[in-house]
């Protein structure tokens, strides 16, 4: 199983979102490769996955891509854990009282 962390604002780079204007989600590219490259050598699949990941601005490691390519080649199920990084802005007001002793 692979794992990737993406920011909430870039989740549409990874997963298909019909409301997004972003045009290259990795999920679609992976599915296309899985249907067209089953049984092909891993070394042939990895560069295609790298191009799809780069187009989607995702930071998969070489090991991640090799694992995904192996799953495509062997027709195995591949599970990807996605961690979504969310920025929360918090406004804090602090009052400091200084007294002379």
pTM over 0.85: no
So what's the pLDDT on residue 85? 75
Q: How many angstroms separate the CA atoms of 66 and 63, rounded?
A: 5
Paired tokens of 98: 């200084």
> Any residues with CB less than 8 A from the CB of 10 and at least 6 apart, and which?
57
Q: How many angstroms separate the CA atoms of 23 and 87, rounded?
A: 24
Among all chains, which residue has been given the structure tokens 């995702």?
Answer: 58
* Mean pLDDT, residues 18-43: 84
pLDDT band, very low/low/confident/very high, at 75 (cuts 50, 70, 90): very high
* Mean pLDDT, residues 92-99: 62
Q: Are 87 and 7 in contact (CB under 8 A)?
A: yes
Which H or E element spans position 16?
Answer: none
Q: Which of 19-33, 66-80, 83-97 has the lowest mean pLDDT?
A: 83-97
């Amino acid at each position: 199983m692979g794992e990737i962390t993406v920011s909430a604002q870039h989740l549409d780079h990874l997963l298909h979102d019909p409301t997004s204007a972003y045009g290259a989600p990795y999920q679609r590219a992976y599915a296309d490769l899985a249907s067209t490259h089953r049984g092909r050598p891993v070394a042939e699949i990895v560069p295609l996955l790298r191009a799809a990941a780069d187009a989607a601005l995702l930071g998969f490691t070489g090991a991640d891509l090799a694992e995904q390519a192996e799953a495509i080649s062997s027709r195995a199920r591949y599970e990807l854990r996605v961690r979504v990084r969310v920025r929360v802005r918090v406004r804090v007001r602090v009052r400091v009282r200084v007294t002379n002793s």
